[in-house]
């Protein structure tokens, strides 16, 4: 039976949740474009003129003429919703399917477990006096749909000493099982009842920090802390006499790239990335303000095992344990197996829950056949049986009986069984009225597979006008972004299909994720980073292949991806489909047989080592004497997981290395103190290795800093982490070197870049050798220099899409560089200040402002305005809005034509490569919608400029 059929799909004693809810597919007549004169775009105020060979264009704009959204005319000769070009294969049932007895029993047990949940009325309520929550907080929880909690959550919260903040807690629960609510309740109760205390909530990704910020601000709205009438006379530990308590709970975000100026003193709950949280704790220890901290929540605790950032989590916990302050530590994860060991390390209560409020059915898809796998053991057995017949054809062998089969496709694009299954399962989900998440192995695969699914999507009916409007709104939002609308997205979004990967800009990813969450998009094709990033549940999750990139996906990531299926409040059931190719069958067997990996310390020598942990503890004054350092080492996870003598041996080696590198030194009383260099490394949040490299670079800069240009500074501000992964395109490198002026070339030659070497790499086509420390240092310099060209362009108002095209990198990569550059540049400035290099710090600090604004010095004031980056600021300035005051006093309608110029310039860039766009013009309905978006953005720009201008005027009056 076709997925497009209007009849209900019947199986032999089996129906999926998609079958049960199947809806009628519809057909929709196309929205035809209307031909209009191409000489008018803004009612005569703006026009594009083309020469005969289409190689040049001129734009004429009068930004001071009044703007009328209804006068905006664009042409789109094609239909708004093109018909499906592919047909998804039919999915049929196997009539003689008989489930294996053990699998059947497993499924009955799982189903009964879920069906035994108490009814909503008998679930524990947050109003229960035992939780001690104020009614205002309970009301806010109810407003977002949290009226009661699960029995496991209540049992965990009521553990001895937890609600009073007297015990630490480590707990695990499946994705979607309600982990976050437990930590939220404990953290908020601690802050409400202890107004002198603050909280730090640690999350691994910026997207999660931003999502949690919105959630918490909504939850704490109008919730007051318990402040006694005479509290002004009792400021609590670590508080200054002049500081008064805020009754309302202040929630602030701390993450790289944030423009917020909120300080630790101005917040009650700091929602942080791992790096920012570690810096906050270091500063609090150094300034003797750690007594203000009352609770630390570590979400995604399995990140302890991350080879790049896990050691920072261990550093944080180790410092807090050594302090023995009244600070409650709460850690949670869905993917750790050695919970008891971690609880023993922190001296915490631990709780393990296997409860999932929404049942999830699991399937294996192999060569166009779908096999049930209600448990991992059953799935492993299925794959093992298939593996045993791999030497035979399925016509000769007797493999396990599939539950359903997918017909082979006659379309060449769907000839691969894995692709065919992915498209068929996606379209089946959409036809039933549900959303589907498809995980695939690379960014390029995301776009290819999204395009294939979109070409096979069922057509909308004439009654689905609201859904079409949502997609047109999404297109308008994306067009109004500084990066413009990706042509690949432009094709798929109208059919309800989007893609999501790290190569996209943050604004693009946020808009796509929100559209999917709200139902405007039905299919979202993503890399595995989405599983650990934003919270996007789906009725059906399809994992197209067991490899993410070149590597086989690990057990933890597999669980993260599968955990997106079925989410309380979104769906009442979930399904996961792992599509496997024959070459990976044995690997999948091993993967599914494997237990969740145990969390290990990242302070081991083969990983990050103990050096940074010891340097930070000594530099912040946490420890100094050898016995205190040994006590510190005892507080690490490393001490719990290796032989004790080995732990002390690692400690001794690390201390010796730090001494030899002149980061610490022995004082007269045989205690260790940080040198000025060591203090600078810690204050700038660099690793010891990166700090030493930066120190050498800055020392050379002090001897002869190239001040008659900017290239030297751009090189110094290039983040080491980004440069380490940069792939150099040598012909582009040579072209950029050739285009440098004398000052820029002199600056790069001073840091060790030789044009002759670049030319030789272009001619040979070879890769840099990195076998010796000298070769590795050389490679780092060339990568930094190549990346510095991108920073230079960002600061000189070159639009992000142009930079991405120039260096052949994703737009999201350029944006990531810009974000990480802010934090790294701040670290460089702090490093110079701690080293006493005040003049160099001042020079660098000025350029830091330019990097943050993405503009030259004359636009720094205007670049503070919302939505106004360097390129936009330059256009506004060149078209009559000469300064911040002019923008603040402007009519928003007068700003719209300038914003429209940005769009037209992007269209002209696309015409340079016609293959990358299929249409440059908009249907009139879409154009009017887009005009409204631009008008709304113009209003926000003027409002922001007015607010900044008023603040500056007030400061002048105060002075």
Q: Per the domain annotation, does 132 fall within a domain?
A: no
Q: What per-residue confidence (pLDDT) applies to 908? A: 55
Domain membership of residue 615 as a residue range: 611-674
What is the rounded average pLDDT for all residues in the chain? Answer: 79
378-387, 714-723, 897-906: least confidently modelled range: 378-387
Q: Are residues 510 and 416 in the same domain?
A: yes
Q: What value, to the nearest 5°, has the Cα angle with vertex 821 and ends 816 and 824?
A: 130
Q: Which residues of 417-515 form beta strands (DSSP E)?
A: 436-439, 497-500
98-112, 153-167, 189-203: least confidently modelled range: 98-112
Best CA proximity match to 603, nearest among 651, 643, 556? 651
Q: Is the dihedral of CA 316, 320, 322, 323 positive or negative?
A: positive
Q: What is the mean pLDDT of residues 729-748?
A: 93
- If 0-12 CB within 10 Å is exposed, 13-18 middle and 19+ buried, where does residue 521 land? buried
Q: Are residues 717 and 836 in the same domain?
A: yes
Q: What is the mean pLDDT of residues 461-477?
A: 80
Q: Are residues 469 and 485 in the same domain?
A: yes
pLDDT category, 674, cuts 50, 70, 90?
Answer: very high
Cβ–Cβ under 8 Å, residues 634 and 347: no
Q: Are residues 664 and 791 in the same domain?
A: no
- If 0-12 CB within 10 Å is exposed, 13-18 middle and 19+ buried, where does residue 766 land? exposed
Boundary (domain end) residue, out of 674, 692, 722: 674
Res 874 pLDDT > 70: yes
Res 491 pLDDT > 60: yes
- Per-residue tokens: 501: 């990967």
Q: Are residues 380 and 407 in the same domain?
A: yes
Q: Per the domain annotation, does 326 fall within a domain?
A: yes
> Assign residue 252 a region: left if phi > 0, alpha if psi is -120 to 50, beta otherwise?
beta
Q: Are residues 577 and 656 in the same domain?
A: no
Boundary (domain end) residue, out of 854, 886, 920: 854
Q: Per the domain annotation, does 940 fall within a domain?
A: no
Distance separating alpha carbons of residues 158 and 217, to the nearest angstrom: 25
Distance separating alpha carbons of residues 571 and 577, to the nearest angstrom: 17
Q: Are residues 278 and 233 in the same domain?
A: yes
Number of C-alpha atoms within 13 angstroms, CB side, residue 495? 29
Q: What per-residue confidence (pLDDT) applies to 263? A: 81
Res 23 pLDDT > 60: no
Q: Per the domain annotation, does 272 fall within a domain?
A: yes
Percent of the chain residues past pLDDT 90, beyond the cut: 35
Distance separating alpha carbons of residues 579 and 874, to the nearest angstrom: 50
For the chain, the farthest-separated pair of C-alpha atoms sits apart, in whole angstroms, at: 90
Q: Which residue blocks in 364-464 are alpha helix, DSSP H?
A: 376-388, 417-431, 443-455
Q: Are residues 643 and 524 in the same domain?
A: no
Q: What per-residue confidence (pLDDT) applies to 507? A: 86
Q: Are residues 381 and 512 in the same domain?
A: yes
Which pairing describes strands 269-272 and 198-202: parallel, antiparallel, or unpaired? Answer: parallel
Maximum mean pLDDT: which of 342-356, 578-592, 700-714: 342-356
Distance separating alpha carbons of residues 557 and 94, to the nearest angstrom: 32
Tens digits of residue pLDDT in 608-648: 778 999 999 999 999 999 999 999 999 999 999 889 999 99
Q: Are residues 171 and 314 in the same domain?
A: yes
Q: Which residue blocks in 4-55 are alpha helix, DSSP H?
A: 17-20
Cβ–Cβ under 8 Å, residues 844 and 718: no
Tens digits of residue pLDDT in 36-62: 333 333 333 333 333 333 333 333 434
DSSP 664: E
Say what the pTM is. Answer: 0.78
Q: What per-residue confidence (pLDDT) applies to 122? A: 63
Q: What per-residue confidence (pLDDT) applies to 450? A: 94
Q: Per the domain annotation, does 320 fall within a domain?
A: yes
Q: Are residues 390 and 435 in the same domain?
A: yes
Residues in Cβ contact with 479 at an 8 Å cutoff, skipping those fewer than 6 apart: 485, 903, 930, 933
Cβ–Cβ under 8 Å, residues 596 and 556: yes
What CATH number corresponds to the domain at position 295? 3.40.50.300
Q: What per-residue confidence (pLDDT) applies to 852? A: 72
Cβ–Cβ under 8 Å, residues 297 and 201: yes
What CATH number corresponds to the domain at position 718? 1.10.3380.30
Distance separating alpha carbons of residues 676 and 836, to the nearest angstrom: 9
Q: Per the domain annotation, does 894 fall within a domain?
A: no
Distance separating alpha carbons of residues 355 and 378, to the nearest angstrom: 20
Residue 42's SS3 state is strand
Q: Are residues 406 and 463 in the same domain?
A: yes
Give exposure, 602-630, as e/b (b: 16+ Cβ within 10 Å): bbbeebbbbbbbbbbbbbbebbbeeebbe
Q: What per-residue confidence (pLDDT) applies to 19? A: 45
Tens digits of residue pLDDT in 907-931: 555 544 444 444 445 555 566 777 7
Overall domain count for the chain: 4
pLDDT category, 854, cuts 50, 70, 90?
Answer: confident
Q: Per the domain annotation, does 138 fall within a domain?
A: no
Best CA proximity match to 843, nearest among 701, 718, 686? 701
Q: What is the 3-state secondary structure (H, E, C) of 195-251?
A: CCCEEEEECCCHHHHHHHHHHHHHHCCCCECCCCCCHHHCCCCCCCCCCCCCCECCE
Q: Per the domain annotation, does 796 fall within a domain?
A: yes
Res 35 pLDDT > 60: no
Measured from the Cβ of residue 450, the count of other Cβ atoms closer than 10 Å reads: 27
Q: What is the mean pLDDT of residues 780-788?
A: 93
Boundary (domain end) residue, out of 833, 854, 875: 854
pLDDT category, 238, cuts 50, 70, 90?
Answer: very low
Res 200 pLDDT > 60: yes
Distance separating alpha carbons of residues 636 and 603, to the nearest angstrom: 8
More confident residue, 376 or 484: 484
């Amino acid at each position: 039976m076709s997925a497009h059929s209007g009849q209900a799909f019947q199986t032999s004693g089996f129906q999926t949740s998609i079958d049960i809810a199947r809806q009628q597919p519809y057909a929709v007549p196309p929205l035809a474009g209307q031909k209009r004169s191409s000489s008018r775009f803004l009612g005569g105020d703006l026009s594009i003129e083309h020469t005969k060979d289409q190689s040049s264009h001129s734009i004429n704009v009068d930004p001071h003429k009044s703007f009328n959204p209804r006068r905006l005319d664009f042409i789109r000769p094609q239909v708004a919703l093109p018909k499906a070009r592919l047909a998804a294969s039919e999915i049929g049932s196997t009539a003689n399917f008989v489930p294996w007895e053990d699998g059947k029993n497993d499924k009955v047990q799982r189903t009964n477990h879920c069906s035994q949940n108490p009814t909503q009325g008998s679930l524990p309520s947050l109003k229960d006096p035992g939780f001690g929550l104020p009614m205002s907080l309970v009301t806010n929880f109810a407003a977002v749909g949290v009226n009661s909690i699960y029995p496991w959550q209540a049992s965990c919260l009521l553990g001895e000493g937890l609600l009073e903040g007297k015990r630490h807690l480590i707990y695990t629960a499946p994705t979607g099982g309600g982990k976050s609510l437990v930590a939220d309740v404990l953290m908020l109760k601690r802050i409400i009842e202890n107004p002198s205390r603050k909280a730090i909530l640690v999350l691994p990704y910026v997207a999660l920090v931003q999502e949690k910020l919105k959630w918490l601000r909504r939850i704490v709205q109008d919730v007051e802390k318990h402040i006694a009438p005479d509290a002004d006379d009792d400021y609590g530990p670590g508080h200054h006499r002049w500081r008064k308590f805020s009754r309302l709970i202040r929630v602030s975000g701390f993450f790289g790239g944030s423009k917020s100026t909120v300080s630790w003193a101005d917040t009650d709950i700091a929602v942080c990335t791992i790096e920012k949280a570690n810096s906050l704790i270091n500063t609090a220890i150094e300034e003797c303000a750690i007594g203000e901290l009352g609770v630390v929540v570590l979400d995604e605790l399995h990140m302890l095992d991350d080879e790049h950032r896990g050691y920072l989590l261990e550093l944080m916990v180790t410092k807090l344990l050594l302090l023995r302050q009244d600070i409650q530590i709460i850690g949670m994860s869905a993917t750790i197996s050695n919970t008891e060991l971690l609880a023993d390390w922190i001296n915490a209560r631990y709780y393990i829950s296997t409860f999932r409020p929404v049942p999830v059915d699991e399937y294996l898809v192999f060569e166009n056949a779908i096999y049930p796998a209600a448990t991992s053991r059953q799935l492993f057995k299925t794959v093992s049986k298939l593996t045993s017949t791999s030497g035979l054809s399925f016509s000769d062998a007797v493999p396990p009986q599939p539950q359903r089969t997918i017909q082979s496709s006659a379309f060449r694009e769907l000839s691969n069984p894995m692709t065919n299954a992915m498209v068929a399962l996606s379209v089946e989900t959409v036809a039933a009225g549900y959303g589907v998440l498809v995980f695939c192995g690379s960014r390029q695969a995301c776009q290819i597979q999204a395009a294939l699914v979109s070409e096979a999507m069922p057509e909308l009916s004439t009654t689905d006008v609201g859904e079409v409007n949502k997609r047109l709104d999404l297109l308008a939002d994306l067009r109004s972004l500084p990066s413009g609308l990706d042509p690949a997205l432009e094709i798929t979004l109208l059919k309800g299909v989007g893609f999501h990967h790290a190569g996209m800009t943050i604004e693009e990813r946020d808009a796509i994720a929100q559209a999917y969450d709200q139902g405007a998009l039905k299919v979202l094709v993503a890399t595995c980073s989405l599983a650990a990033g934003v919270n996007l549940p789906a009725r059906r999750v399809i994992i197209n292949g067991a490899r993410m990139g070149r590597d086989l996906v690990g057990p933890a990531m597999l669980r993260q991806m599968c955990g997106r299926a079925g989410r309380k409040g979104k769906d009442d059931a979930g399904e996961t489909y792992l599509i496997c190719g024959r070459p990976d069958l044995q690997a999948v067997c091993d993967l599914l047989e494997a237990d969740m990996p145990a969390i290990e310390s990242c302070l081991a020598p083969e990983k990050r080592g103990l050096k940074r942990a010891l340097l930070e503890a000594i530099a912040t004054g946490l420890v100094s004497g050898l016995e205190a350092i040994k006590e510190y080492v005892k507080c690490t996870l490393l001490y719990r997981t290796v032989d004790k003598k080995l732990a002390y041996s690692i400690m001794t080696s690390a201390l010796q290395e730090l001494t030899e590198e002149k980061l610490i030194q022995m004082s007269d009383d045989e205690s260790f103190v940080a040198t000025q260099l060591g203090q600078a490394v810690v204050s700038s949040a660099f690793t010891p290795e990166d700090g030493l490299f930066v120190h050498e670079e800055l020392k050379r800069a002090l001897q002869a800093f190239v001040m008659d240009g900017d290239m030297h500074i751009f090189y110094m501000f290039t983040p080491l982490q980004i440069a380490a992964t940069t792939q150099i395109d040598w012909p582009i490198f040579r072209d950029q070197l050739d285009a440098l002026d004398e000052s820029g070339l002199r600056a790069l030659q001073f840091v060790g870049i030789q044009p002759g070497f670049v030319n030789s790499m272009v001619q040979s086509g070879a890769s840099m050798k990195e076998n010796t420390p000298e070769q590795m240092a050389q490679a780092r310099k060339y990568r930094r220099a190549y990346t510095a060209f991108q920073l230079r362009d960002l600061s000189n108002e070159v639009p992000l899409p142009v930079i991405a095209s120039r260096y052949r990198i994703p737009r999201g990569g350029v944006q990531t560089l810009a974000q990480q550059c802010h934090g790294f540049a701040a670290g460089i400035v702090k490093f110079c200040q701690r080293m006493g290099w005040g003049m160099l710090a001042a020079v660098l600090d000025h350029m830091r402002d330019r990097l943050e604004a993405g503009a030259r010095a004359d636009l720094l004031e205007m670049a503070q305005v919302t939505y106004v980056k360097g390129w936009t600021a330059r256009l506004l300035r060149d078209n009559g809005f000469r300064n911040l005051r002019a923008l603040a006093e402007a009519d928003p309608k007068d700003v719209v034509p300038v914003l429209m110029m940005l769009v037209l310039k992007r269209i002209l860039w696309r015409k340079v490569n016609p293959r990358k766009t299929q249409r440059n013009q908009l249907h009139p309905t879409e154009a009017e919608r887009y005009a409204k978006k631009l008008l709304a953005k113009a209003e926000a720009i003027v409002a922001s400029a007015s607010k900044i201008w008023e603040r500056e005027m007030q400061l002048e009056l105060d002075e």
